[in-house]
């Protein structure tokens, strides 16, 4: 399999990667211009930029680029002074461009009005959107034309199927407290590591549901990452306004912006 075939495969699977390319060399170097290494989000890689300790540094930078979605250029001087334990004596210099290839994935658990409004905005700001529901009529592409895909199955099964893909943006926005709880409990049980995890509802709902989930074995560290009420505190009331607040929060998380000053959050779509 070539590097570009693997990039295409990872894209179809919704998995992120980073392409590392030697863009400049001077003197004697183990890697030559245009040599490439593709780094997957799990740390495995395909290809090479020269091997050894240099490659280990490139791997670390590639994983960081996948995380923050920012490209970077790395410069190396290959000598014993800079790499005393490497045995490098070639004395050359090279630059490597690290390009993250990331399509952020948003999964909306629940196919109601709020999810439909979020899907419309999220697609427009560059997210690959999946709407998942346990009712076929709510996991319908005709109902959610802005979603890239829809899935129908019991919520716990849907959550367990999504959980292995690290770095997704996940929102529990089902028809009721019990179903939101099913989603969170299944994500926790499957070891999910999301980039963002939001849940619709009020502060009162959060207290009641989290108490129930802790009793069921969901640990506090996992629950601490659940953003609820979800969305930035703009006083949203309608489905469309809630979608704006959530989309803004997704952008904030994705771009690593500084959060707003702490303040009381109104319940987003409280029920």
Could you tell me which residue, 268 or 131, shows the higher pLDDT? 131
The predicted structure's pLDDT at residue 52: 79
pLDDT digits (tens, 9 = 90+) for 175-222: 999 999 999 999 999 999 899 999 998 889 999 999 999 999 999 999
The predicted structure's pLDDT at residue 96: 97
55-61: long-range contacts at Cβ-Cβ below 8 A with a sequence spacing of 24 or more?
Answer: 58/20, 58/96, 58/98, 61/20, 61/98
Q: Six-digit token pair at 6? A: 């693997």
The predicted structure's pLDDT at residue 243: 97
Domain with CATH 3.40.50.720 in the chain: 105-255
Side-chain half-sphere CA neighbours of 87 within 13 A: 3
The predicted structure's pLDDT at residue 30: 84
Pick the CATH number of 105-255 from 2.40.160.20, 3.40.50.360, 3.40.50.720, 3.20.20.70: 3.40.50.720
Instruction: Using the predicted structure, report yes or no on whether residue 86 has a pLDDT greater than 90.
Output: no
Q: Which of 139, 186, 184, 144 is nearest to 161 (CA)?
A: 186
Side-chain half-sphere CA neighbours of 143 within 13 A: 19
Q: Average pLDDT of 26-39? A: 92
Could you tell me which residue, 95 or 29, shows the higher pLDDT? 95
pLDDT digits (tens, 9 = 90+) for 64-79: 999 888 999 999 988 7
pLDDT digits (tens, 9 = 90+) for 49-63: 988 778 999 999 999
Kindly tell me the number of DSSP H helices and DSSP E strands found in the chain. 8, 11
C-alpha distances in angstroms, 242 versus 7, 129, 145, 237?
Answer: 35, 17, 19, 6
Q: Which residues of 148-161 are buried (b: 16+ CB within 10 A; e: fewer)?
A: bebbbeebbebbbe
- pTM, to two decimals: 0.80
pLDDT band at 258 (very low <50, low <70, confident <90, very high): low
């Amino acid at each position: 399999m070539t590097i570009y075939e693997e990039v295409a495969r990872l894209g179809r699977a919704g998995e992120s990667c980073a392409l590392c390319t030697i863009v400049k060399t001077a003197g004697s170097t183990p890697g030559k211009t245009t040599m490439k290494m593709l780094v997957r989000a799990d740390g495995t890689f395909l290809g090479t930029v020269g091997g050894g300790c240099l490659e280990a540094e490139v791997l670390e930078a590639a994983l960081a680029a996948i995380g923050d979605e920012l490209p970077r250029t790395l410069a190396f001087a290959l000598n014993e002074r800079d790499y005393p334990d490497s045995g490098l004596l070639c004395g050359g210099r090279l630059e490597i461009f690290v390009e993250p290839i990331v399509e952020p994935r948003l999964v909306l658990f629940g196919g109601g009005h709020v999810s439909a409004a979020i899907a419309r905005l999220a697609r427009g700001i560059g997210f690959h959107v999946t709407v998942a529901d346990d009712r076929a009529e709510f996991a319908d592409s005709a109902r959610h034309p802005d979603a890239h895909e829809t899935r129908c199955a019991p919520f716990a099964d849907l959550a367990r199927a999504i959980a292995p893909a690290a770095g997704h943006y996940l929102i529990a926005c089902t028809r009721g407290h019990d179903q939101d709880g099913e989603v969170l409990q299944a994500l926790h049980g499957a070891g999910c590591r999301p980039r963002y995890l939001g849940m619709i509802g009020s502060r009162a709902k959060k207290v009641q549901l989290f108490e129930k989930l802790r009793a069921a074995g969901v640990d506090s560290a996992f629950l601490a990452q659940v953003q609820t009420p979800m969305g930035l505190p703009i006083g949203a009331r309608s489905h469309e306004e809630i979608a704006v607040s959530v989309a803004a929060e997704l952008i904030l998380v994705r771009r690593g912006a500084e959060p707003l000053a702490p303040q009381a959050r109104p319940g987003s779509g409280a029920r």
